[in-house]
Amino acid sequence: MTKTATLDILVVGREKAILEVVERLINSHEGWKATIVTTEDDAVAAFRRQRFPIVLVCAGLSVQEEETLRQRLVTQDPASVVIRHYGGGSGLLENEILGILDQRRKNGK
């Protein structure tokens, strides 16, 4: 039996209820694991400990905070994708992540 690689996804936001839902939705997929943080500094610290191919920015961070975070993380790992997650249920979240994975495959990453 082969073990599938885990897709680690960093989720940054300030709205606890939304973060709980996003965490549950991500972790419900086999092989996906969410790490939840609520500040830019916590996101950078988590990223230093472990690289995340996908970073979702959720409610509570401004556009400026999102851009600053993107610059800080992509400097550490240019292959990481930092995107805004606007919510909208499990189908949208899953499609966002699958779209990123599909694009990475097409780009050979």
Cα end-to-end span (Å), the chain: 25
- Per cent of the chain over pLDDT 70 is 92
SS3 45: helix
Radius of gyration of the chain (CA): 13
> Which residue type, as a one-letter code, is found at position 69?
L
Domain hosting 38: range is 7-106
Residue 53 domain-assigned (yes or no) = yes
pTM: 0.88
Question: For residue 21, what is the domain's CATH number?
Answer: 3.40.50.2300
pLDDT digits (tens, 9 = 90+) for 53-76: 999 999 889 999 999 999 999 999
pLDDT digits (tens, 9 = 90+) for 19-33: 999 999 999 999 999
Q: Which helix (H) or strand (E) holds 57?
A: strand 54-57
Residue 2 domain-assigned (yes or no) = no
> 82 falls in which pLDDT band (50, 70, 90)?
very high
> 104 falls in which pLDDT band (50, 70, 90)?
confident
> Which residue type, as a one-letter code, is found at position 102?
D
Domain count, the chain: 1
Residue 57 domain-assigned (yes or no) = yes
